[in-house]
Amino acid sequence: MVFKAIALLTRKPGLSRAEFIDYYERNHAPLITSLFPQIVEYRRNFVDLTDSLRAPGVPDPDFDVVTEMWFRDRAGYEEMLATHARPEVGEAVRRDELNFLDRTKTIQFVVDERALP
């Protein structure tokens, strides 16, 4: 069994979708995987509304990527949070996020994932 956290992230105003994806993939993702060895799987799901299904009047989502971070267990997640709490690590992440994220809209949470047998 794995433990999973999700982050809903929004690009910085003025940044195109392509620029956002490029920066995330070339800069931020390598930084995160280098700082947090506790993450065993790191997936970025970039929102593409081209063929979206939604009820009439439903607005576009307020995020540009659904990021999945997988850990061996809850202890691995808590270890990642402790690593992030170290000033030099948290500051490195914050400085990089300022280059491409609207940090006022960031939300991260754990999920109870279920799959059909």
Cβ atoms of 28 and 50 closer than 8 Å:
no
The reported pLDDT for the residue numbered 1 is 73
Q: Are 12 and 65 in contact (CB under 8 A)?
A: no
More confident residue, 117 or 108: 108
pLDDT tens track for 56-65: 999 999 999 9
pLDDT digits (tens, 9 = 90+) for 71-83: 999 999 999 999 9
Work out the pLDDT band at 117, boundaries 50, 70, 90: confident
Residue 101 pLDDT > 90: yes
Listing from the earlier edge strand, what are the strands of the sheet with 107-111?
Answer: 41-46, 65-71, 3-9, 107-111
The domain segmentation of the chain, as residue ranges, is: 3-48+62-111
* Architecture label for domain 3-48+62-111: 2-Layer Sandwich (3.30)
Is the predicted pLDDT of residue 86 greater than 80, yes or no?
yes
Assign 85 to helix, strand or coil.
helix
C-alpha 2/C-alpha 40 separation (Å) is: 9
